Amino acid sequence: MEYEISRKYKAIAESVINAEPELRWIREIGVQIGYLRSFKEKKSGGRLVFGECTKVSELYEPFCPYDFLIVIFEPNIAGFTKKQIQILLHHELLHVGMDEKNGELRYRIVPHDVEDFYSILDRYGTRWSMINGGPADEGGG
């Protein structure tokens, strides 16, 4: 099996949501997010991918109790500190978005402001994944 549900990442993400004012709406609205750990390495454009956030498509909604899934690629974050994992989950949670159209709320994936999100860059810098000797090949989600 390449993926499994992660209670560890869920607990860390919930603490990030509670600590970050820009994310608290996720809890307040009741967005359902599933957290997965992957045992495979992932690359995109030759760069490591640490994590990714995807919206559950309408096709799978009847079978899946989540609005979004966040996957952490564990081989790519080997050596990450707890702080780096918190930053990574913060980054992935910033992809969770919502729009209102014709009075109906709809979930969507939020793209990066720049190569990452301004709020991550402002707080942690462009090389947040290098804190305390993280992977040399920067990536993101």
pLDDT at 101: 83
Q: What is the model's pLDDT at position 4?
A: 97
Spatial strand order of the sheet with 33-38 comes to 3-5, 33-38, 68-73, 51-55
Is 132 contained in some domain? no
- Counting the structural domains of the chain, the total is 1
Q: Is residue 141 part of a domain?
A: no
46: CATH:
3.30.2010
Residue 139 located in a structural domain: no
The answer to whether position 64 is within a domain reads yes
In a domain, residue 76? The reply is: yes
- Give domain status of residue 33, yes or no: yes
Rounded CA separation 77/102 (Å):
41
User: How much is the pLDDT for 115?
Assistant: 58
* Distance in angstroms (rounded) separating the CA atoms of residues 76 and 41: 6
Mean pLDDT, the chain, rounded, equals: 86
SS3 for 101?
A: strand
Residue with token string 């301004």? 118
- Residue 121 phi, psi dihedral angles, 5° rounding: -65, -40
66, 35 contact by CB (below 8 A): no
pTM of the model: 0.83
Residue 75 belongs to a domain = yes
- Residues 53-66: tens digit of each pLDDT: 999 999 999 999 99
pLDDT tens-place string over residues 81-117: 999 999 999 999 999 999 988 888 899 999 877 655 5
**Least confident segment among 29-33, 37-41, 64-68, 116-120:** 116-120
Residue 138 lies in a domain: no
pLDDT tens-digit readout, 126-138: 656 665 554 544 4
Using the predicted structure, report yes or no on whether residue 125 has a pLDDT greater than 70: no
Please give the average per-residue pLDDT across 67-89, as a whole number. Answer: 94
Alpha helices in 30-128 (DSSP H): 82-93, 118-124
Q: Structural domain of residue 82, as residue ranges?
A: 3-127
